[in-house]
Amino acid sequence: MTDNNKPDIQHGNELLRDERYNKGTAFTESERQELNIEGLLPPVIEDIDKQLKRVLFQLDNKKNDLERYILLTNLLDRNETLFFKTLMSDPKRFVPIMYDPTVGEACLKFSEIYRDKSGMYVTSNNKGKMSDVLKNWPEKDIRFICVSSGGRILGLGDLGANGMGIPLGKLQLYTACAAIPPYGLLPVLFDFGTDNETLLNDPFYIGLRQHRPSTDVIDELVEEFTESVKSVFPQCCIHFEDWKGADALRILKKYKNKICCYNDDIQGTSAVVLAGIMGALKIKGGNLKDQRILIFGAGSAGIGIADMLSAAIQAEGKTENEAVSQISLFDINGLIVKSRTDLNEYQKVFAHDVSSSKDLNEVISDFKPSILIGVSTVGKAFTETIVKTMSRINERPVIFALSNPTDHAECSAQDAYTWSDGKVIFAAGIPFDPVTYNGNTYCPSQANNYYCFPGVSLGIYATQPKLVTDQMWIEACKALAEMLTDDEKNKGMVLPPQNDILDISFNIGVRVAETAFAAGLAQVKQPEDLRSWISDMLYKPEYK
């Protein structure tokens, strides 16, 4: 994608207010004279590297990450190029500021810190005219829409229109982590209302002051939205993000084989977990098809992980029934078993004909999992007893405590290594510092979705596939796990370092593109040199 939408050259204050083309103090003397901005800027002329140093200095002097988030979003409103220059200079540092965990706090306070430019809002009041509403967006060549209903923001629940921080942040990661050009990305908050009474009574709340409608009404509105996107932006992939669990599963099931779309909470989470397990198996040995997996949490993330792992186990030669038998789930009401009457259709797939239990440690002792995955949002649920039980039945237990933010993590890295006597292969959904135990230093990986979805999106961006398939995600996981070095494995890492994220995303993008071409799903001509072809598409934060 090239910047074909660039308008006629602007002049004066109008140019300085255009975040895409504003260069601030980087305008040369001749440009200032030609563009009628002489005198509207300080006389100093600086290149983008000098500007970056000033931004970093300003960030270092902020008190906390929320203030840094606000500074960076204000920078984005003024100078898009410098904003992405900053993020891409050190993604490992800036992803936690612009996304998880800081974005959670930003969403809680979004109505208070709201600024003029913050994506697009589609509401239930737009029924019958969504195409017209989408046409109001100034860009006409949109390649991705990240759309959230605000129904389940991280571990914070229903935040309604305050959830706009999520699609904004997700799409910024497309560029910061995979160099996808930002001008083809559209963040959307689909405001159905909210059942959060605190927000409904908040005088500053920016969303519809009404409760969420019935499932039938939501489905009807989503149908119109997807049809409108296909009409207005025919090359667009829809990225569903942070919808309520039941809505997320239902909508993905309906559309994944109909249009180019994916749900990162379900598929992106599943993919990074699968990649982490592949990395763990490179440390402990063995094949995925021989593992027994217990997932603590049976919402959309847990079900998505189970589905992805089942597909990957089947790809190694097991039948569907065999794969399902190796995976168990546990939710707030205990083990998912056939005798329960409160299961939804997605949970029933993994319901086994065994005795019910609400005791997680008892389930571990009976089921004997080699891998324990937490996506429950129940902080400290993996107790010392549970970690010791996993260590008793496994020489190298794999424990992923993936819930976030920090106080929702099922256990800490320090506790996992200590309680397992250093045996555990551990990853978390939040960053933990290295842990030294008995003279050995372990570096726990953060199984963050941004390891996968930016790279997968790059492959989608390049090939414009008709559909996004499970095989694309599985191949992305393989590409990610293959990047682990022996030194990283020796440190207990199951994923490569986050500071390599641009290279990681590029390799994943190439693998996904190869998969799309091999499956006949790509809607562009296959190039002779795929890597060079994709490399030429990458966004570079440079002034033109």
99 labelled catalytic: yes
Which H/E stretch holds residue 428? strand 425-428
For residue range 494-507, what is the model confidence (pLDDT) as tens digits? 999 988 999 999 99
- The pLDDT-based confidence of 9 (bands split at 50, 70, 90) is low
> 268 and 454 in contact (C-beta within 8 Å)?
no
- Catalytic residue (choose from 21, 69, 99, 346): 99
Mean pLDDT in the chain?
94
Mean pLDDT is lowest, of 243-257, 456-470, 528-542, for 243-257
Name all domains of the chain by residue range, CATH numbers in brackets. 47-259 (3.40.50.10380), 267-447 (3.40.50.720), 451-535 (3.40.50.10380)
User: What's residue 99's pLDDT?
Assistant: 85
1 or 62, which is more confident:
62
pLDDT at 155 over 80: no
> 194 and 149 in contact (C-beta within 8 Å)?
no
> 437 and 418 in contact (C-beta within 8 Å)?
yes
For residue range 23-55, what is the model confidence (pLDDT) as tens digits? 999 999 999 999 999 999 999 999 999 999 999
> 68 and 43 in contact (C-beta within 8 Å)?
no
User: What's residue 170's pLDDT?
Assistant: 94
pLDDT at 453 over 90: yes
User: What's residue 102's pLDDT?
Assistant: 84
User: What's residue 517's pLDDT?
Assistant: 98
Q: Which of 88, 91, 181 is nearest to 448 (CA)?
A: 91
> What is the rounded distance in angstroms from the CA atom of residue 183 to the CA atom of residue 175?
10
* 124: CB partners within 8 A, 6+ apart: 191, 192, 193, 208, 210, 213, 217, 221
The residue-averaged pLDDT of 443-456 equals 94
The residue-averaged pLDDT of 209-226 equals 97
- The pLDDT-based confidence of 254 (bands split at 50, 70, 90) is very high
Tell whether the torsion through CA atoms of 345, 350, 353 and 357 is positive or negative: negative
pLDDT at 2 over 70: no
97 or 238, which is more confident:
238
pLDDT at 4 over 90: no
Phi, psi (rounded to 5 degrees) for 425: -105, 110
The residue-averaged pLDDT of 54-72 equals 95
User: What's residue 114's pLDDT?
Assistant: 81
50 labelled catalytic: no
User: What's residue 3's pLDDT?
Assistant: 55
The residue-averaged pLDDT of 448-460 equals 95
Q: In the numeric block, which tokens belong to residue 87?
A: 């993020």
For residue range 86-121, what is the model confidence (pLDDT) as tens digits? 999 999 899 889 987 788 888 888 888 787 667 999
By DSSP bridging, strand 327-331 and strand 334-335 are antiparallel
> What is the rounded distance in angstroms from the CA atom of residue 427 to the CA atom of residue 401?
6
User: What's residue 1's pLDDT?
Assistant: 53
SS3 assignment, position 296 = strand
SS3 assignment, position 325 = helix
Which H/E stretch holds residue 329? strand 327-331
- Catalytic residue (choose from 23, 85, 170, 318): 170
The residue-averaged pLDDT of 337-362 equals 96
* 11: CB partners within 8 A, 6+ apart: 35, 36, 37
The residue-averaged pLDDT of 459-470 equals 97
User: What's residue 60's pLDDT?
Assistant: 97
pLDDT at 471 over 80: yes
